Amino acid sequence: MSAREGWITFAATLAAFLMLSAIFFLLLGKPPLEMGLSLVEFAFGDAYSLSETLAKASPILFCALAVAVPGRLGLISVGAEGQLYIGAITGTALVLGFPELPPLAMIPLMLAAAALGGAAWGLVPGLLRARLDINETIVTLILNYCAVLFASALVFGPWRDPANQGWPATAPFPPAAVPPAVDGKVHLGLLIGVLLALALHVFFTRGRAAVHIRILAGNRKVGRTFGLDFAFWVTALMATGGAIAGIGGIIEVAAIQGRLQPSISLGYGLTGFLVSWLARHRPLVILPIALLVGGLLAGSDALQLFAKVPAASATILEGLLFATALAVPGLIARWRRSDGN
Amino acid sequence: MIMDREPLVRFEHLTRRFGELAAVSDVSLDIRAGEVLALLGENGAGKSTLMKLLYGIHPPSAGRILLDGRESPIRGPADAMRNGIGMVFQHFSLLPALSVRDNLLAAWPATPAYIGRRSKRAARVLDRLSVIAPDIDPERRVDTLSVGEQQLVELCKVVNLEARVVILDEPTSVLTPAEAQRLYDFVLRLAAEGRAVVLITHKLADVEACADRIAVMRGGMLVADFAKGERTTAETVALMMGRPAATAEPAPDRFAGRPARLVLREITASAAGHVLKGISLEIAGGEVLGIAGVAGNGQTLLAEVVAGVEAPSGGDVLLDGESIARRGDEPHATPIGYIPEQPRDNAVVETMDLSANLRLRALAAGEADGAYDVAALIRRFNIAPSEPTRRAGTLSGGNLQKLVAARELGVPRPAVLACYPTMGLDLGAVGTVYEAMFAQAAAGAAVLWISEDLDDLLARAHRIAVMRGGAIVALVENDGTLTRDRLGAFMTGAPAEAAA
C-alpha cells in the first residue's frame, strides 16, 4: 500500500466512523455535531481531560503490546486480561508482604513481581503450544477466567482488609508503592509503556532476532529447515507478552485504584487485543491508537455525566470505531478490485 | 451428438491490464462445444488470466465476452457456475478435514437436504469419481490424498456441476503418468458428451494426448490458433517460446565412480500416515541418483528426513561421514541444497521479499550473505516479476519454484536433494533448473533427485531407485538399456527378482 492509499483509507475510515457515530447520537435524540465536539473536548480539551484520557490509555497500551509481542510470531493471544490480573495479584502480594520497603526498592520490586507473575501466566500457554501444539488462543482465553476469579477469591477471602467493613478489597497501598505522577493521573506507568513500545519496535525491526521471528511467522516449516527454534520463540514471546500485561496490571492497581479490587479492568484485555490487531502488531502504531481509544473511553464517560447519554455509549462508540476500522479497508480493496485497477 | 456450429464462448479483442502490465492483450478466440482446446504457452503467457476473465474473477479492461452469442452476464465464480462454466485451479478448493465424498457433496447442486449413511441419491455424486479415479476411497479424508489424487477429486467436483465448459488449469503437472492417462481419457469423454474443454498447459504431451485445437499464447497475446496436426511439434514449440527450441537437452556428465558422499543408512520413520521401512542408499560425489515412484509412497517423508525437517526413528543420514539427521526437537539447519515439493508451503516465506527469500539461509544462520548475488540469481533463473523488493507471495507457483531452485542450486552445495524440481515450469525454466542441478553434480555434489517423470529420470539420472510402500524396491544402473515399462513394473509391484 502506498502512502497515498494509506491516507485515503485513513480518511475514509474516519469519515465512516463519524457518520456512524452521528447516526448513533441521532438515535439517542442528541445533536450529533455538538455531542461529537463535546466528546473531543472531554477527551483532549484541557489538562484534566487529557490526564483522564492518558489514564485510560495506559492499561490499553500495555494490553495491546502484550498481544502484539506473540502476534509478531503469528500467535493469537487473547490472554492480556488474565495476565493483567495475575500481574496485579503478584505485585500486590509483594506490597502486602513487605509494606515497609522504601520507595526506591518498592516500585521496582513491585513491577518485577508483577512482570514475573504475568510472564508465568503467559508461559503456560506458550509451553503448551511449543511442546504439545495446543492452541494458544483457547488456553489464554480459559486462563483469563482463572485469573479474574483468582483475584476475586483473594480479595473476598484472605486478602480482604477488615477495615473495609465487608467491602471486597485489600488494604490501601502504602505511599511508597504508589508510582510517582505529575498532574494526578499521568503516572510513571505511562512512561514505561511508551518506552516499552519503542524498545519493542527496535527489537522487532532490527537485528537477527527480528529476522528469525519474521521467517517463523511467515513459514514455520522453512524456519525449521534452516535451523530456527519455533518452540523457543513461542515460549519466550508468550512469556514476554504476559510480563508486559502484568506490569500494566500492577500499575493500574497502584497508580489509579490504590488497592486490589475484584474488577480492576474494564475489558482492557479485549480492547488491547483489538488495538493490537488494528495496528497489525506494530508497536509504533499501537501508541496513537491506544491514545485515541483512551480518549474515546474518557470522553464518553464525561459525556455520560454531563450530557446524560447512556453508560453503554463508550462501549458502543468503541465498537463502531473497531468495526469501521476493520471493514473500511476491506471495502476499499474490494471496490478497487472490481474497478479493474 | 449434434455439433453446435455457434461457438459457446467467444472472446472479442479482450484485454486485461494489471497496472502497467497487459496480462492479456487483444485476444479474440472461440470455444466450441464438443472440442478440446489446448491453451498453450509458457509461465506468465496470460493463459490463466484469459480464462479467469471468462470465469468472472477479473473483469476485462477492454473487449467483450459472448456466451451463447450474447454478452456474458458473468460477474464472479458463482455466476460462472450457474452459467455452466467450471474451472479447476492449480490451487485446490477442497476442505482437507472432510472425506472425499463429503467434499463432493458440499459442492454438488443436487445434494439432498438430509444424507443418510447409505443414501442412494447421495451416492450418485460418486459416479464420476469411479470413472476418473477408481482407486480413491470416497471415505478417505482429503488431507491423506496425494496432490495428484486431490486434483482428480477437484476435477470430479467441477464435472459434477454439469458444466458445459470445463476449464482445467495445468491439470497434469501434479499427476503420475497413469493418472494423467486416465485424465486424458476422461477429457476426451467430456468432449464426446458435447462439452467444451479448455486445457491450460505448457506441456506438449497434454496437447498430443487429447487436444483438438491448439491456441498458443505468448506475452499476453494470442500468436496462433490452429487444429492439431496443422503444425509440427517443433513449430509449436517455436511459437510458444518465440524462438526455435534448443536442440541439446541438459544432462549430467558421465559419472566415474567416486566415494560415497551422502549416505542414507537403514532409515526408519513414520509421520502423518506414511512410513519408511529401512531405507539405505549411497550417493557418490558427482552422482545423480533418481528416485522414481508413484507419489504418496513415502517420498515426502524420506525427503524431510534427509533434509532434517523430520527426525528418523532409526538409522542415520551421513554427509561426508558426519550425521546430518535431526535428533528430537533441537534446532537443526540442513547443510544440503533442498528443493521440497510445493515450494509455496514448504520453502518460501511469502510475507518476505524476493531478496530475503534468496538470502534466507544466511539470514537464518545470521551469517554474512555475500554468497548470494540476488540480482544475478534472479536473472539466471529468469524469475518474474524480477524486482528484488517484491513480496514473494505475489509470485506465481512456477516462479516460486524457480526462486527456490535459485536459492538452493545457485551457490555451491555439498549435496542436493530435489523433489519434483521442475514441477509447473515451462521448457526454458526446466532447462535452467536441470543445468544448475547437474552443475552441482559436476562440481562434486551428491545429487538425490525425486521425480515422477520417468522419461526425465531415464534421460538424466546415473542410477534410479524405485520407491514403493516406504521402501526401496529396486536400485538399477541407468545404462541405456533400462526402459519405462521396466521402471513402471517396479513402481506398481513387480516380482523382486526382476531387479538387476
Of A233-237, B149-153, B191-195, B263-267, which gets the smallest average pLDDT?
Answer: B149-153
Q: Which of B211, B241, B271 is the last residue of a domain?
A: B241
For Cα atoms B485, B488, B492, give the angle at the middle one, nearest 5 degrees.
140
With a cut of 80, say whether residue B336 has pLDDT above it: yes
pLDDT tens digits for B26-62?
Answer: 999 999 999 999 998 877 788 888 999 999 888 888 8
Domain A34-336 fold is ABC transporter involved in vitamin B12 uptake, BtuC (1.10.3470)
Work out the angle at residue A256's Cα, subtended by the Cα atoms of residues A147 and A201, and round it to the nearest 5 degrees: 75
| Overall average pLDDT of the B66-87 stretch | 86
The residue that leads in pLDDT, B123 or B371, is B123
Pairwise CA distance, residues B484 & A156, whole Å = 80
| Cα separation, B500 vs B497, whole angstroms | 8
**d(C-alpha B333, C-alpha A262), whole Å:** 49
Which helix (H) or strand (E) covers residue B487, if one does?
helix B484-492
Q: Which residue of A has its CA nearest to B307?
A: A225
Average pLDDT over residues B310-322: 89
Of A219, A225, A228, which is closest to B338 when you measure between CB atoms? A225
For position B250, what pLDDT does the model report?
60
Cell readout for B116 is 443418510
Q: Give the residue-averaged pLDDT of B450-469.
A: 86
B168 shares its domain with B211: yes
For B178-192, give one letter per residue: b (16+ CB within 10 A) or e: ebbebbbebbeebbe
pLDDT greater at residue B169 or residue B241: B169
pLDDT of B259 reads 80
Point out which residues pair with B196 in neighbouring strands.
Answer: B165
Residues 401-460 of B with CB under 8 A from A: none
Distance from C-alpha of B54 to C-alpha of A203, rounded to nearest angstrom: 48
User: Does the beta-carbon distance from A226 to B334 stay under 8 Å?
Assistant: yes
Q: Is the pLDDT of residue B499 over 50?
A: no
Nearest to B405 by CA among B418, B386, B391: B418
pLDDT reading at B203 higher than 90? no
Q: With contacts defined as CB-CB under 8 Å, which chain A residues touch B332?
A: 227
Say yes or no to pLDDT of B335 above 80: yes
Instruction: Return the biggest CA–CA distance within chain A.
Output: 71
Which of B59, B334, B366 has the CB atom closest to A340's CB atom?
A: B59
Put simply, the answer to whether B349 touches A218 (Cβ < 8 Å) is yes
Of B177, B207, B241, the domain-final residue: B241
b/e map of A164-185 (b: 16 or more CB within 10 Å)? eeeebbbbebeebbbbebeeeb
**Which pTM value belongs to this model?**
0.75
Helix (H), strand (E) at residue B40: strand B36-40
Give contacts of A226 with chain B, Cβ < 8 Å: 333-334, 360-361, 364-365
B244 pLDDT tier (thresholds 50, 70, 90): low
In terms of DSSP H, where are the helices of A32-135?
Answer: 32-44, 47-71, 80-97, 103-132
Q: What is the mean pLDDT of residues B333-350?
A: 90
Q: What is the pLDDT of residue B249?
A: 57
Asked whether residue B229 falls in the same domain as residue B269, the answer is no
Percent of chain B scoring above 90 in pLDDT? 19
Of B241, B276, B303, the one marking the end of a domain is B241
Ramachandran quadrant class, B462 (left: phi over 0; alpha: psi -120 to 50; beta: rest): alpha
When CB atoms are compared, the residue of A211, A338, A340 closest to B363 is A211
- pLDDT top residue among B156 and A197: A197
Chains A, B: CB pairs < 8 Å: 65
Name the nearest CA neighbour of B334 among B315, B350, B347: B347
Q: Which of A72-81, A173-182, B63-72, B406-415 is predicted with the least confidence, judged by mean pLDDT? A: A173-182
pLDDT at residue B73, rounded to an integer: 84
Reply yes or no on whether the pLDDT at B127 is more than 70.
Answer: yes
Note whether A219 contacts B363, CB cutoff 8 Å.
no
Q: Which residues contact B270 (CB under 8 A, 6 or more apart)?
A: B276, B301, B313
Identify the domain containing residue B394 by its residue range. 260-492
According to DSSP, the β-strands at B36-40 and B196-201 are parallel
A228 interfaces chain B, CB cutoff of 8 Å: yes
Residues B67, B123 within the same domain: yes
Q: Which of B300, B342, B351, B353 to mutate to test binding with chain A, by most A CBs within 10 Å of its CB?
A: B351
CB contacts of B334 in chain A (<8 Å) are 225-227
- Does position B255 have pLDDT exceeding 80, yes or no? no
pLDDT computed for residue B41 by the predictor: 84
Query: What is the rounded distance in angstroms from the CA atom of residue B169 to the CA atom of residue B55?
Result: 12
For residue B88 the three cell numbers come to: 479447476
B338 and B486 both lie in a single domain: yes
Nearest CA in chain B to A212: B364
**What's the CATH code of the domain at B287?**
3.40.50.300
Determine whether the interchain pair B347/A225 forms a contact, defined as Cβ–Cβ distance below 8 Å: yes
| DSSP line for B243-266 | SPPPSSPP-PPP-----EEEEEEE
Residue B1 inside a domain? The answer is: no
Distance CA B218, CA B45 (A): 5
Q: Quick check: A224 contacting B, CB < 8 Å?
A: yes
Cis peptide before B385 (omega within 30 of 0): yes
Strands B415-419 and B274-284: unpaired
Q: Please choose, from the candidates A109, A112, A132, the residue with its C-alpha nearest in 3D space to the C-alpha of residue A120.
A: A112
C-alpha closest to that of B166 among B194, B208, B204, B140: B194
Pair B100, B33 in one domain: yes
Considering the domain architecture, whether residues B205 and B264 belong to the same structural domain is answered as no
Q: What is the pLDDT of residue A341?
A: 43
Which one is predicted more confidently, B244 or B384?
Answer: B384
What average pLDDT does this structure show over B229-248?
74
Identify the band that residue B117 occupies on the pLDDT scale cut at 50, 70 and 90: low
B500 at A interface, C-beta within 8 A: no
Chain A residues 320-339 within an 8 A CB cutoff of chain B: 338
A217, A222, A232 member nearest B347 (Cβ):
A222
The span from the CA of B159 to the CA of B129, in Å, is 10
- Report the distance separating Cα A103 and Cα A175, nearest Å: 8
Strands B463-468 and B288-292: parallel
Task: Please indicate, yes or no, whether residues B212 and B266 belong to a single structural domain of this protein.
Answer: no
Q: Is the pLDDT of residue B231 over 80?
A: yes
The percent of residues in chain B predicted with pLDDT above 70, rounded, is 90
Query: Under an 8 A CB cutoff, do A222 and B349 touch?
Result: yes
pLDDT at position B494 over 80? no
- Residue B311, CB half-sphere, CA atoms under 13 Å: how many? 8
| Residue A223, pLDDT score | 92
- Across the interface, which of A221, A228, A341 has its CB nearest the CB of B364? A228
Our count of domains for chain B comes to 2
Mean per-residue pLDDT pooled into runs of 10, chain A (341 residues):
74 89 89 86 86 90 96 93 95 91 90 96 95 93 94 88 81 83 80 94 91 92 91 95 95 88 86 89 92 89 83 85 86 71 43
Looking at mean pLDDT, say which of A67-81, A259-273, B266-280, B354-368 comes out highest.
A67-81
Do B202 and B350 fall into the same domain? no
Instruction: Report the residue of chain A nearest B361, measured CA to CA.
Output: A226
Contact A222 B360 (CB under 8 A): yes
Tell whether B246 is covered by a domain: no
Are B144 and B218 within one domain?
yes
Strand partners, B447: B288, B416
Contacts of A52 (CB under 8 A, 6+ apart): A185, A298, A301, A302
Q: What is the pLDDT of residue A322?
A: 86
ipTM of the complex: 0.78
Per-residue pLDDT, B256 = 62
A233, closest residue in chain B (CA to CA): B331
Q: What's the pLDDT score for residue B5?
A: 62
pLDDT value at B178 more than 60: yes
Alpha carbon dihedral B82, B87, B92, B97, in 10-degree steps, equals 30
* Comparison of pLDDT for A331 and B480, the residue scoring more: A331
The answer to whether residue B335 is domain-embedded is yes
Residues for chain B: how many in total? 500
Measure the CA dihedral B131/B136/B139/B141, to 10°. Answer: -130
- In the prediction, which pLDDT does A82 show? 94
Q: Where are the domains of chain A?
A: 34-336
Same domain, residue pair B93 and B229? yes
- H helix runs in A157-229, sequence order: 188-205, 207-218, 220-225
B468 and B383, same domain (yes or no): yes
Chain A residues with CB-CB distance to B413 below 8 A? none
Whether residue B228 is found in the same domain as residue B294: no
